[in-house]
Amino acid sequence: MKPWIIDLAGLGTGFWLIGYLLSLVLFFTSWAEHLGWIISALCTPLVIVITFRWFRTRDLPLSYFVGVGLAWVLIAVMLDYLFIVLLFQAAYYKTDVYVYYALTFLIPVVVGMYLKSTKDDRGDPV
């Protein structure tokens, strides 16, 4: 399978699925009202670490990471709409969801910027 398919669709769907399954578990607890914030707090560091480790050995342009972020957001929006809004007829879009979408875009972009800056600092070609 082509690496860009795994980078965009595989990771994007996998990260979404982790959050979705965690939200289903938290929904049946007393923390259900704040589950978006809880999931963001738990999953953001995990996604950062996995993203960093996934891309650290590859020399990719920053535009690639922007594309990854856009793809991940599109995947998240579509799957959220299908499997939360339509399926559960939920009033879903609150502040935590917009923060989640912003993080979904920013994580691969910031990881890409960091990886590019560390390669540039060592004198590697840009």
State pLDDT tens for residues 97-123: 999 999 999 999 999 999 999 986 665
Place of tokens 């599109």: 74
Q: How confident is the model at residue 89 (pLDDT cuts 50, 70, 90)?
A: confident
Per-residue pLDDT tens for 41-82?
Answer: 999 999 999 999 999 999 999 999 999 999 999 999 999 999
- The model's confidence at residue 1, banded by pLDDT at 50, 70 and 90, is confident
Backbone angles phi, psi at 93, to 5 degrees: -85, 95
Q: CA distances (Å), 57 to each of 54, 92, 116, in order?
A: 8, 37, 11
**89 phi-psi bin (left φ>0, alpha ψ -120 to 50, beta other):** left
